[in-house]
Amino acid sequence: MILRQILRLSSLFRSAVSVHVRRNIGLSAIVFNKTKELDPVQKLFLDKIREYTTKSRQAGGPVDAGPDFQKDLNESLARLQRAYGEGDLTKFPEFKFE
C-alpha cells in the first residue's frame, strides 16, 4: 500500500518536473535567439531599411523619385479618382461599424 502511494507520488512529481523543464527550455530558447548577434546579411538588410526610412522622412515621400514618377503618380490617382469617385486615395479608408 505504501509502495503504491510512493510510486504514484513519484510519477506525479516526474510529470510536474518534466512540464517545468520543457517550459524553461522553450523560454530560454526564445531569450537566446533575441540576444544572439544578427547574421551579417540580416544586419545589412536592417541597416538599409533604417537608412531608407530616414531618407524618406527627410524627402517627405519616395526617395530619389524624379518628376516622371510624380507625373505617373498624379495620372494614376486621377484615373482611380474617375473610376471610384470621391475621397482621398492616398490614405487608408476609415471604417465605421455600428
Average pLDDT over residues 69-98: 84
Quick one: cell of 74? 498624379
CA distance 55 to 62: 9
Range of the domain at 32: 9-57
Q: State how far Cα 37 lies from the chain centre.
A: 19
Domains identified in the chain, total number:
1
What pLDDT sits at residue 17? 60
Summarised one tens digit per residue, pLDDT across range 5-53 is 666 766 666 776 676 666 666 666 666 666 567 688 888 999 999 999 9
pLDDT above 90: residue 85? no
Report yes or no on 86 lying in a domain: no
* Gap between the Cα atoms of 30 and 63, Å rounded: 36
Does residue 20 fall inside a structural domain? yes
Which residue has cell 524553461?
A: 24
The C-alpha cell 530560454 sits at: 28
Higher pLDDT, 36 or 86: 86
Instruction: Answer whether 0.75 is exceeded by the pTM.
Output: no
